[in-house]
Structure 1
Amino acid sequence: MEILLWLVPAAVTTVLAMLWVSWAGRDGRGEVDRDVAVERLGRALAKELPAQARRTPAATRERTTGIAVRPSHAEARRGGDTRRAS
């Protein structure tokens, strides 16, 4: 049981933090009038958004594994490299 005593300060700090957050986050602090909030929302929704710049997708690079791979037989039939290993 003694070995768990080092957890007491952390547990007390956690409980105090939870109590402080529940007090600081209670209703009524910084409350905005409902009509004012609706007016702000209406203005924000009515605003014209700037034209978005067209983003081109980043070029995908071929993933290298560090292993040399020979072309498949299908590529050779299509007119790929016609040399063969002997």
Structure 2
Amino acid sequence: MAMVWVSWMGRDGRGEVDRDVAVERLGKALGKEMPAGTRRTAAPARDRSTGIAVRPSHGQSAG
């Protein structure tokens, strides 16, 4: 029971950050220069294949 009490009391205030402090930290992090060799690129386009082959219609109507 003592271990439960100590662990509960030890977590008091954990993870709580003042909003202004958090905004300031975010601004600093975003303002930092990226290390050499790090590139900001867009994610590669995913192949959206469904795995089902569909033949083109060649302009003929089905009927």
TM-score (norm 2): 0.42
Larger % of helix: which?
1
Higher relative contact order (CA 8 A, sep 6+): 1
TM-score normalised according to structure 1 size: 0.34
Between Structure 1 and Structure 2, whose CA radius of gyration is higher?
Answer: 1
